[in-house]
A = this chain, B = another copy of it.
Amino acid sequence: MTILVAHGSSDQNWANTFVEMTTLARQSKTDTQLAYMELNEPSIQTIVNNAVKEGFNHFVILPLFLARGKHLKRDIPDILKNLESELGITTELLAPIGEHPEIAEAIKNILNKN
C-alpha cells in the first residue's frame, strides 16, 4: 500500500488539494491512501492499522512536503518504527516530494506556461 502524508490544517478547504492529488495518484498506485500529521484525519497509524486487518504488510510512504522539517526528520520516522515493531509490517519512507527532480521540473513547466 502507498500512503501519501500531508501536514494538515485548521482550514477546512486546505485538504481538498491533497484529496485531489490522492485521487490522481491512484492512477499510478491503486492502493493509495492519504494521511495527515495534524489537524486532519486519518493519521498514518489509523490507515496502517486498518490496512493490516485487510492483509497489507508493506507500506510505501511518500510525504507531500516540499522540504524536511520536524515532521520529516523525527515524527514520521518514529511513527513508522513503532508501527513496524508493533505490527510486524515493513515500511519504506521516500524523500519528501520537493526533493524529487520531478517537482523542480513541474515548477519549470508551470513557469513556462505563465
A107: contacting residue among B9, B64, B92, B105, CB under 8 A: B64
B105 A106 Cβ-Cβ under 8 A: yes
The copy count of this chain in the complex is: 2
A64-B104 Cα distance, complex, nearest whole Å: 11
- Report if A42 contacts B (CB, 8 A): no
Interface size on A, residues (CB 8 A): 48
Q: A17-B99, A98-B21 are in contact. Are A111 and B2 (CB under 8 A)?
A: yes
Task: Decide if A66 touches B69 in the complex (CB within 8 Å).
Answer: no
5 closest residue pairs by CB, A with B: A102-B106, A17-B67, A28-B111, A106-B106, A24-B104
Q: A28-B109, A103-B103 are in contact. List 10 more A-B contacts (CB 8 A).
A: A9-B67, A9-B69, A17-B98, A20-B104, A24-B104, A24-B105, A25-B108, A27-B108, A94-B114, A102-B110
